């Protein structure tokens, strides 16, 4: 039997592969009502178990035959993209009506070899989704289904599980509050990095997450998307010592140079079984059955002590199987995890590994396909949810197919998108997910043409030329080790040392020729008058020229820093004024689109819950995450500015004042006046504690003010 087919049978029970198409019919009514009445879905009976659909036309109807709802959704998306030239994305939808409906002249049969099409990173839940309501989540799940995602991380609502578990263990409400984090920091609590930061989360907030998760799970089932719930791996509150002083625990130390981690309770301790029984009892009561459980140990530096890793892994997995029989433990391959000795203790038929950095590294090849354990080739693309057009596009389109032909790829069972923030770089996510349904080899140029037409509704030579240049610049398959775009200098905390990156792990050098990118921006702008009504064009126009402004600002920055070193006051003043002007221009430019606005982020936080205290807590979380991140006692924390955002409102109210403090200091030094180094950390914390003022100005039109931006440089 084919190995991938065997894995499919092991991981996907037959009851989950089959299914009706009511969820996909409802999706079509929500997103393309002009098409929904002309769609006919039929069950495709086939000998193999690979996901497959057949697309054809008959008597004016569009017939989609599929072996399950997920494949049917992909069939719908295929018709929308290749026949109607329509698309959905996180950065704008192009779903306007098409009439008459295009007919499929000859049946099209598409089969995928990817058992899994996986989506989401723990961090995505915060850097993009912290304050989402049902409207945003319904859009997300519809997009996931259309792209063929059939396995999605879904740990929301784990807070309610832990609240019930710790209450049953007689923890005080205060200790429970000190464990559960605030709404912008759940991800790092789930990964065992922090406890309580951003909290306390109110009961109303925890209940909100619970009900939202339950609604999401119901929708996912209809769309053929399996959830990955959070398993119990032994991470517990550090306050457990007060309640169980003899518990066998391993202190996990600190994370991010300041955060106290939860502690690890050894599975050899009978207390582990007691907590696991409670945990899985409440998990099942709240969220039902699950076939996939997530959870990592020793994430980003947690201490292993002298424990037997293999035995520890085996005990934890056996515990999962006891309460969730036939479940699969999903582990993240990140840094030195999963450790080889740990992996050796696991049953491969109930283990699945996510190689998070497939687009930047060949970890799967070095480890010989993780010693034969099933694994998924993943692309991260984005770090921190920061802005920046970036991605190794050619590598994403070709590397998974290459991996599948190697000995190390013999246990590869799918592909996945795991961005830390997903509201960016649409082409990177759609391209990888689509590659699961493509032939092993295909024309990248053809892919690009189809992408352009589906994104903007029609072919345009200037847009095509722009994207060809973007493929040679922002989306070049570079060899920089780090993930994420070259960061905007506007967002950096000033320093007298030359700044190479805004955040600790940001890219230290530009991976492409900026002149090529400027040419791309120029070509894209030429099409403006022809796409005034396109939301997707407007988003991309703002994004491309935002990046132009940010790249140009690097020149002014280098100018005033070199002048500062050389004691050239006139040069310093000239370049400083240019830098300030560009920062203000960036604030004005990004204000033309709500997706590039701090107002949108803050308003989402305020709208999360009706109670004033919850609103204030959510808003503070929103401001802290995109600024100093935390903790509140360490100015040099490693995650400082990690999630910076080049957004209007934040640029003018936060980044500009910070740079002005630096310029005041530098000017005083030039004049020989005594000056104290600015206390940036105090400024940053104070800013997050003050109410944010949402702008009441009318939004300018990006196409109307485009000449102002262009004339600044050319």
Which tens digit of pLDDT belongs to each residue from 143-189? Answer: 999 999 999 999 999 999 999 999 999 999 999 999 999 999 999 99
Residue with token string 């995650």: 639
Strand partners, 236: 263
As a whole number of angstroms, the distance between CA 488 and CA 506 comes to 10
Instruction: Tell me what the mean pLDDT of segment 190-202 comes to.
Output: 97
DSSP conformational letter for 419: -
Nearest to 205 by CA among 516, 565, 620, 601: 620
Domain-wise residue ranges, the chain: 3-111, 154-354, 490-500+558-713
19 falls in which pLDDT band (50, 70, 90)? low
- Mean pLDDT within 246-272: 96
User: CB of 551 within 8 A of CB of 514?
Assistant: yes
For the stretch 443-462, pLDDT in tens is: 889 999 999 999 999 999 99
Least confident span in 1-5, 546-550, 627-631, 673-677: 1-5
User: Residue 105: how many CA atoms within 13 Å on its side-chain side?
Assistant: 2
Residue 504 reports pLDDT greater than 80: yes
Question: What class does CATH assign to 490-500+558-713?
Answer: mainly alpha
Cα–Cα nearest to 489, from 570, 419, 558, 567? 558
As a whole number of angstroms, the distance between CA 442 and CA 459 comes to 20
SS (H, E, C) 554-574: HHHHHHHHHHHHCCCHHHHHH
Tell me the three-class secondary structure of 678-711, residue by residue.
CCHHHHHHHHHHCCCCCCCCCCCCHHHHHHHHHH
From the list 281, 475, 511, 274, the residue with the least C-alpha distance to 381 is 475
Confidence (pLDDT) at 666: 97
- Res 479 pLDDT > 80: no
Selection from 142, 153, 67, 76 nearest residue 112 by Cα: 67
Whether 154-354 and 490-500+558-713 share one fold: the answer is: no
- What φ, ψ does residue 226 adopt, rounded to 5°? -80, 135
Q: Cite the beta strand spans of 345-389 per DSSP E.
A: 351-355, 375-379
In DSSP terms, 417 is beta-bridged to 119, 379
pLDDT greater than 70 at residue 17: no
> Which H or E run contains 152?
strand 151-153
Yes or no: say if 35 and 99 are a contact pair by the CB < 8 Å rule. Answer: no
Q: At 150, list the tokens.
A: 């059939």
pTM of the model: 0.96
Query: 200-209, 356-365, 517-526, 603-612: lowest mean pLDDT where?
Result: 356-365
Flag whether pLDDT at 421 surpasses 80. Answer: yes
First to last CA, the chain: 62
Mean pLDDT of 15-29: 79
Q: Give the CATH superfamily of 154-354.
A: Glycosidases (3.20.20.80)
pLDDT tens, position by position, 289-321 = 999 999 999 999 989 989 999 999 999 999 999
Token pair for 601: 């982020």
**Separation between Cα atoms, residue 347 and residue 541, nearest integer Å:** 49
List, for residues 54-83, the tens digit of each pLDDT value.
Answer: 999 999 999 999 999 999 999 999 999 999
| CA 615 – CA 621 distance, rounded (Å) | 10
Question: 358, 680, 334: which is closest to 499 by C-alpha?
Answer: 680
Q: Are 183 and 167 in contact (CB under 8 A)?
A: no
SS3 65: strand
What is the pLDDT, as a whole number, of residue 441? 66
Task: Please state, in angstroms and rounded to a whole number, the distance separating the CA atoms of residues 205 and 76.
Answer: 36
Mean pLDDT of 451-475: 97
Q: Give which of 518, 533, 536, 499 is closest to 641, Cα–Cα.
A: 499
Sheet with 61-66: strands ordered across:
39-43, 61-66, 52-58, 108-111
d(CA 114, CA 52): 11
Topology (CATH) of 3-111: Chitobiase; domain 2 (3.30.379)
Q: Where does 256-380 show beta strands of DSSP type E?
A: 259-260, 263-265, 292-294, 328-333, 351-355, 375-379
């Amino acid at each position: 039997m084919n190995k991938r087919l065997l894995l499919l049978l092991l991981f996907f029970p037959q009851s989950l592969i089959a299914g009706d198409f009511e969820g996909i019919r409802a999706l079509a009514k929500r997103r393309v009502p002009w098409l929904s009445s002309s769609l006919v879905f039929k069950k495709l009976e086939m000998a193999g178990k690979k996901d497959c659909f057949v697309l054809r036309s008959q008597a004016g109807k569009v017939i989609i035959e599929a072996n399950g709802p997920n494949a049917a959704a992909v069939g719908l998306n295929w018709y929308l993209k290749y026949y109607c030239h329509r698309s959905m994305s996180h950065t704008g939808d192009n779903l306007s009506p098409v009439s008459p409906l295009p007919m499929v002249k000859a049946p099209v049969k598409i089969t995928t070899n990817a058992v899994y099409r996986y989506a989401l990173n723990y961090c995505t839940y915060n850097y993009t989704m912290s304050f989402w309501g049902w409207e945003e989540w319904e859009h997300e799940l519809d997009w996931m289904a259309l792209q063929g995602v059939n396995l999605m991380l879904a740990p929301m609502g784990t807070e309610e599980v832990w609240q019930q578990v710790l209450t049953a263990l007689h923890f005080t409400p205060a200790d429970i509050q000190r464990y559960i984090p605030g709404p912008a920091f759940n991800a790092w609590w789930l990964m065992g990095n922090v406890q309580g930061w951003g909290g306390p989360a109110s009961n109303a907030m925890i209940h909100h997450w619970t009900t939202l998760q339950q609604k999401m799970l119901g929708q996912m089932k209809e769309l053929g998307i399996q959830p990955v719930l959070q398993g119990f791996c032994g991470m517990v509150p550090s306050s457990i010592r007060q309640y169980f002083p003899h518990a066998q625990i391993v202190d996990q130390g600190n994370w991010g140079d300041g955060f106290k981690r939860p502690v690890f309770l050894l599975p050899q301790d009978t207390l582990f079984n007691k907590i696991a029984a409670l945990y899985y009892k409440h998990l099942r009561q709240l969220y039902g059955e699950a076939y996939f459980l997530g959870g990592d140990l020793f994430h980003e530096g947690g201490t292993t002590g002298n424990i037997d890793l293999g035995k520890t892994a085996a005990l934890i997995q056996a515990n999962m199987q006891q309460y969730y029989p036939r479940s699969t433990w999903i582990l993240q391959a990140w840094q030195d995890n999963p450790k080889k000795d740990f992996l050796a203790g696991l049953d491969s038929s109930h283990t699945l590994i996510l190689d998070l950095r497939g687009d930047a590294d060949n970890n799967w090849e070095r480890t010989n396909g993780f010693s034969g354990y099933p694994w998924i080739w993943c692309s991260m693309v984005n770090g921190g949810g920061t802005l920046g057009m970036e991605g190794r596009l050619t590598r994403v389109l070709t590397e998974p197919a290459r991996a599948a032909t190697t000995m190390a790829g013999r246990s590869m069972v799918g592909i996945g998108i795991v961005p830390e923030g997903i509201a960016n770089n649409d082409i990177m996510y759609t391209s990888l997910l689509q590659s699961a349904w493509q032939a092993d080899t295909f024309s990248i140029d053809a892919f690009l043409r189809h992408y352009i037409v589906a994104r903007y509704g029609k072919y345009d030579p200037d847009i095509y030329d722009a994207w060809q240049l973007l493929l040679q610049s922002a989306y070049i398959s570079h060899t920089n080790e780090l993930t994420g775009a070259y960061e905007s200098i506007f967002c950096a905390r000033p320093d007298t040392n030359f700044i190479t990156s805004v955040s600790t792990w940001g890219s230290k050098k530009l991976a492409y020729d900026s002149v090529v990118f400027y040419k791309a921006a120029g070509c894209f702008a030429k099409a403006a008058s022809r796409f005034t009504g396109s939301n997707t064009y407007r988003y991309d126009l703002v994004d491309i020229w935002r990046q132009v402004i940010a790249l140009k600002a690097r020149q002014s920055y280098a100018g005033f820093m070199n002048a500062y070193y050389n004691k050239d006051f006139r040069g310093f003043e000239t370049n400083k004024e240019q830098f300030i002007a560009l920062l203000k221009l960036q604030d004005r430019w990004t204000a033309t689109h709500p997706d590039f606005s701090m107002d949108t982020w803050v308003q989402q936080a305020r709208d999360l819950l009706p109670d004033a205290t919850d609103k204030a807590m959510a808003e503070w979380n929103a401001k802290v995450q995109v600024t100093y991140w935390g903790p509140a006692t360490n100015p040099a924390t490693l995650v400082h500015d990690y999630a910076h955002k080049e957004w209007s409102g934040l640029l003018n109210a936060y980044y500009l004042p910070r740079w002005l403090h630096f310029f005041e200091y530098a000017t005083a030094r030039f004049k020989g006046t005594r000056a104290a180094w600015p206390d940036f950390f105090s400024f940053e914390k104070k800013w997050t504690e003050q109410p944010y003022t949402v702008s009441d100005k009318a939004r300018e039109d990006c196409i109307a003010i485009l000449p102002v931006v262009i004339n600044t440089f050319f």
